[in-house]
Amino acid sequence: MLVVAEREQLPVSQARSGEPAAWDALFHRYQLPLYVYVFELVNNEQTSLDIVQETFIAAVRHVGSLRDDNKFGSWLFGIAHQKCIQRWRKQNREEILCGEIAELPDEFENSPDTLLIRNEQEAEFMNLLDRLPLSQRAVLLLHFIENFSLEEIARITNTPLGTVKSRMHHAKRALRKLVREKSDQS
């Protein structure tokens, strides 16, 4: 899975001055990780595509408010996060987020049997994650899939750092409990 790196040289200043090639570069850099993040939140392909599009439209309109070009990735994910929340509020329903995927050693990456097992494990794991509350799944996804720091997650979700740490702690504990319950059933 693609990981967002904040320290890359991105053409944010060129995008700010309206250069289409810079926006193309930013779009190509972030479209996949942003789509994956949003899809894990809303679990709907079309809605995810719509939110990613709305996110980039908002980014184009508001790039002038970005204070630190090096934080473009977390700023963009923050916009997407807010778009998801707006969508949930508008639809007046509770949605669930998704998180961490188990990693296998590199030497097994190309084995068809391993890929099949991995896909089955991911599906099982995702089902367990679906049972966690929205706020807990969000921090897991942003931290373990997108590699954002807890401080960046606090900015993205517009939540105090202490709350993010608490949500992470409770999410891990709840996930461990669900995994134990699942293995006891097997």
pLDDT in tens, 71-113: 888 899 989 988 887 777 666 433 333 333 333 344 434 444 4
Q: Do domains 1-95 and 99-186 have the same CATH topology?
A: no
- For 174, half-sphere exposure in the C-beta direction (CA atoms, 13 angstrom radius) is 18
* DSSP 8-state assignment for residue 40: H
Kindly report whether the global pTM for this prediction surpasses the value 0.75: no
The CATH class given to the 1-95 domain equals mainly alpha
* DSSP 8-state assignment for residue 145: I
pLDDT band at 122 (very low <50, low <70, confident <90, very high): low
pLDDT of residue 163 exceeding 90, the answer is yes
Q: What ranges do the domains of the chain cover?
A: 1-95, 99-186
Does the domain spanning 99-186 belong to CATH 3.40.50.300? no
CA distances from 178 to 9, 36, 122 (A): 41, 24, 14
- Rounded Cα distance between 39 and 122, Å, is 15
pLDDT band at 183 (very low <50, low <70, confident <90, very high): confident
